[in-house]
Structure formats: C-alpha cells, structure tokens
Structure 1
Amino acid sequence: MVPGLADIGAEGILLAGAGRAILLQIANPAVGHGVAEHSRFTERPLDRLRGTLTYVYAIVYGTDGQVAAVRRRVNRAHAPVRRAPDESSKGYNAFDAESQLWVVATLYDTAVTVFERVYGPLDQESADQMYRDYAKLGTALQLPAELWPADRAAFRAYWDSRIESLRADDAAVRIAHGLLHPRTGPLWYRAVMPFARFVTAGFLPDHLRQDFGLAWSSGHGRRFDLTMRCTAVVYPRLPQRIRHWFKNYCLGQLDTA
C-alpha cells in the first residue's frame, strides 16, 4: 500500500538515496569546494547526515519551535562557508540561492527516485503536492520562492540540463572517497559501506559513476534491479513505527538539544 502524502518524506527507505544526493551535491563546485574547505564531513559523516535529515524532517513535520531551531542551526553552520573568487577557485557562498536550489533539487529528485522504485509512480496530484512541499526546504532558508522551478516539467528541464553538464572534480572525488571508504567510525558503519557504495552507484547517472570511480557493469545493474524489486516487496510491509523510526528519532533529539 502506498503511504499517504504526508508520510512520504518520513519513509526511512529514502535513506537509501543519501549517498546519491550527497555525491550530486558535491559534484557542483559551488557546493563541493565549500564542503572540502569548511567541513569535517568525511570525518563525521553520520553527524552531517543526521543534521541534514533533522532539518528536512523539522521543515516538513516539525513545530514552529523546531523549525526555528533548525533554521538557526543551519544558518550558523553556513555563515563561515564562503570564499571570494580567485585564481584557484570561482568562489562559493553557502547562502548563494543557486547553490541552495541545487541542494534542494538533489534532495527532491532523490526522494522521488527512491520512493518510486519501491512504491511505483506517484499519481499526478500526489506528485505535484510533493513537489510543492520540497520547495519549503529551500525557502525556509534563503532560496527565493520564485527561483524554485514553477512546476515539475520546469524542474525536469532544469534538472536534465544540470545533470548533463555535471562533472565531479578532484575535490568532489576526494570527499566522495572519504565518505564511501571510511577509515574511522563505528564498525557497523564501515561494514555496511560496500553495500552503500553499490546502492549509491545504482542510483547515479553513468558518467558520474565513472567520475567518482564507482565500479559498474551489466551484472551490477541486474543485481541492483533485483535488490530494488526485493525491497519493493519487503519494505512496504514493515510496520510504520519501523519505517518512520529515524524521522521520529531526529525530531526527538531536536527537542532535547
């Protein structure tokens, strides 16, 4: 059974796309260079993931107080992430609206991609509402509402043009390698990374798999399709308390912070 619209963003299976969203974000130099120079992301990836998803959950499901708290937290983190253009860099600014648009776009497109692999295509009404809801992730910060593409067709045109020209540079590749081949962190995290790399590669466009050095073949493709078919059978049958556990955990931690 397909979840109600209000529950889509709470589905834990969307975490399967976390690696895809992150790699797409850092492949944009305006984002990747800021992460490379101002973040300890590869040293503490779980903290970054939890922080990002706590923001998403608070904007979509949180109280006014929770929304205000995550906005302050994100703005404090973004404040030092800026660099003027020079001979070695085009510069970057975490408050740049175009960069924020790209980050939100990766979260939205990844959520739709993963969700529809598990539950099948959304109907038009639900798809349009989900699209409007994801705009809030950017407009809650500095993204002007008019910069979010007007509808899903406009978004697809924006997305396709960006993906076609997107290439991972050396900085992005270094971040991705540190993320996908961790040397530190909990044992369970390092143990699941081979599977996480496989799933991440499966959700990426082929040219970005190559840029990031992620092995892929027709055999990988068949195993990925089988994995997603099995997930589509098993995951929707899990109790909601399990499927929504991480969302509830993140909002609970926000209340105790």
Structure 2
Amino acid sequence: MRRASRPSPGHDQGDRDPALRRFLADSTPVVAGGRAILLQIADPVVAAGVRRHSDFARRPQQRLAHTLMYVYAVVVGTPADAAVAAAFVTHAHRPVTGADDPDRQLWVAATLVDSAIRTHRLLGSPVDDARAEDVLRAYMPIATALRVPAERWPDSMPAFERYWASALAQLRVTDDARGVVRDLLHPRFAPAWVRVAMPVVRVVTVGMLPAPVRTQYGFPWGPREVRRFRRTVAGLRLLRAVLPGALLRLPGPLLIRAMHRTARRYPAR
C-alpha cells in the first residue's frame, strides 16, 4: 500500500505533464460509470446505504452525473473545484450508515481507477505500465477526499492489483444491490435520451464486470452475450477513433460547471 512519506501528486503532476492531463480529462471512462457503480454496491454495506438513502429509481442518471462531477473535479479540476466536490460528498454522506468507513470509501475509489484504466484499454487507448501508475497516483485524491488515510492508497499497480483481488473475493451481491441495478439499468423516469442509450450502457456495464460479480448479479453470459458485447465495443472503438480529442475532453468542464451551478443553488452545510 501507499507509503505515507510519498507526496500526493495533486494537480501539479498534471500541470507538469500536459499529456497526462489530457489523458485524465478524456471522457472515455464515462462508458464504465455503470460498471463502477455495480462494483461499489457489490459491497453489502455500500448497497444498503445507497438503497436506503438514494432516489435511484427516479433519478439514476443524476446520481451517475454526480459521481462523474466528483471524479473530474478532484482529478483534473482546480483545488477550489475539488473542495466544492468534497463538501458535497461529505454533506450527502452524513445520513448514510457506513459512509465514513475508510474500507468502503477505499473500495469506491478503487472501482473508479480500475474502471478508468480498463475502459481506456478496452476502447483503444495505449495504457502501458507507466501510464497506469500515473493514473493510480492521480486518482489518489479521490480516496483521500473521502477520508481514506493517504497510507491506505496502494503505492504501485502491483499493490493495487493485490488489493483488488482481495477485495473482489469479499464481495457479496445482496437484494439491496439487485434493487439498485434494476433502477440503474432499467430507469423508469429517465429522459428519453437516457432510455435510448441504455441498451448500449447495459451491454458495456455487464460485459466489463468481473465474471464472479456478474454471476452473483445473475446476468446471463453466454456466446450470444459475448458476441453482442464484442460488437458494441467495436462500434465504440470506431466512434472514439473518429471523435476529436477536444470533444472527448468536453464533458469534464461541463460537469464541473454544472457542479458549481448546483453549489450556488444548494450550498452544502
């Protein structure tokens, strides 16, 4: 795990490495937002908190947007952006049992960095070992902003993979988690554009899950599902290849601006 003596990269690392900053600002990991949430709620404590203190059934897309706001604000935003995001998260977690548990918050942050790296690789971004280490360091503030002690964050990708394997082995999908999944993947009250996108979202979300977790959720996964997943990924890779880099980086600033608008309307206390 991460050594306490090693300084946090913060925003300075990205400023010194423009290529890394562009990589972190790329919206490709948005595709795996559902995957990250399903992994998070495969922890029974996280699932119970989300199920009892959330309105996924009515606003699942808003919950996903809030998660993405937090990631962009902390990873590529300014210190002021990160402070606003952290204040919102702290406020939202106050009534949720287990929300301040460092073990759970470490897991939540780990699902975000793992999903980011795997999605980039799946959709064609070159992510070698050095770049993966950069991403791991860049995502550390997500965990520390959630009150995870800095020394708990893995200090290398091998350390992260050991933590990941151990955490996966302890997951247990409960009825609370399955209820959240129904609301997330089959939203009844979402805008029309969200419902139109959901078939692709469902294919990618289920296909990217680790096999043991997918089995626990009860998702079918046979030759037909594998073919559908591969076709969907091929289409997304093609789409990503033709989109300009500036367009791929556009969601981050838009989400951060939306976060500040929300902060002005509903200041966190």
1:137 aligns with 2:110: no
Q: Note the residue ranges of structure 1 that are not aligned, 5 or more in a row.
A: 83-92
> Unpaired runs of 5+ in structure 2?
1-17, 265-269
Letter of the structure 1 residue corresponding to residue 167 of structure 2: R
Report 1:122-133 matches (<5 A): 122-133=127-138
CA distance in structure 1 between the partners assigned to 2:188 and 2:83 by the alignment: 35
| Aligned pair partner of 1:196 in 197, 201, 210 | 201
| Matching of residue 102 in structure 1 with residue 110 in structure 2 | no
Q: Which moved more, 1:107-116 or 1:162-171?
A: 162-171
- Quick one: distance in 1 between partners of 2:165 and 2:232? 26
Structure 1 partner of 2:4: none
**Displacement of 1:227:** 2.6
Instruction: Give the CA deviation at 1:120.
Output: 4.5
SS of equivalent residue, structure 1 residue 103? helix
Report the counterpart of residue 39 of structure 2 in structure 1: 24
Equivalents in 2 of 1:22, 1:246: separation in Å?
19
Q: TM-score, normalised by structure 2?
A: 0.85
Identify which of 163, 181, 184 aligns with 1:176: 181
Query: Partner of 1:185: helix, strand, or coil?
Result: coil
1:133 is displaced (CA, Å) by 0.7
Cα distance in structure 1, aligned partners of 2:81 and 2:171: 34
Aligned residue pairs, count: 245
Runs of 4+ in 1 over 6 A off after TM superposition: none
Deviation of 1:194 after TM superposition, in Å, equals 2.1
Which of residues 214, 224, 231 in structure 2 aligns to 1:226? 231
Q: Give me the whole-angstrom Cα distance separating, in 2, the residues matched to 1:64 and 1:133.
A: 13
Letter of the 1:226 partner, please give it: R
Shift of residue 19 of structure 1? Answer: 1.0
> In the aligned structure 1, how far is the partner of 2:158 from the partner of 2:126?
16
Cα deviation digits, residues 59-80 of structure 1 (max 9, x gap): 1122222222111111000111
Alignment partner, residue 67 of structure 1 = 82
Structure 2 residue aligned with 1:115:
120
Distance 2:93 2:232 in 1: 37
Separation (CA, whole Å) in 1 of partners of 2:35 and 2:79: 30
For 1:236, which of 241, 250, 254 is the aligned residue? 241
Cα deviation code 1:86-117 (max 9, x no counterpart):
xxxxxxx1111111000000001011110011
> What is the identity, as a one-letter code, of the residue corresponding to 1:171?
D
SS in 2 for 1:39: coil
Q: Is the 8 A contact 1:173 1:211 kept in 2?
A: no
Report SS of the residue matched to 1:149. coil
Kindly indicate whether the alpha-carbon contact (under 8 Å) linking 1:108 and 1:131 is maintained by their aligned counterparts in 2: yes
1:204 Cα offset (Å): 0.8
Q: How high is the sequence identity, in percent, across the aligned residues?
A: 39
TM superposition score normalised by structure 1: 0.89
Q: Which residue of 2 aligns with 1:253?
A: 258
Deviation of 1:142 (Å): 0.5
Shift in Å, 1:121: 4.4
Q: Which amino acid aligns with 1:6?
A: R
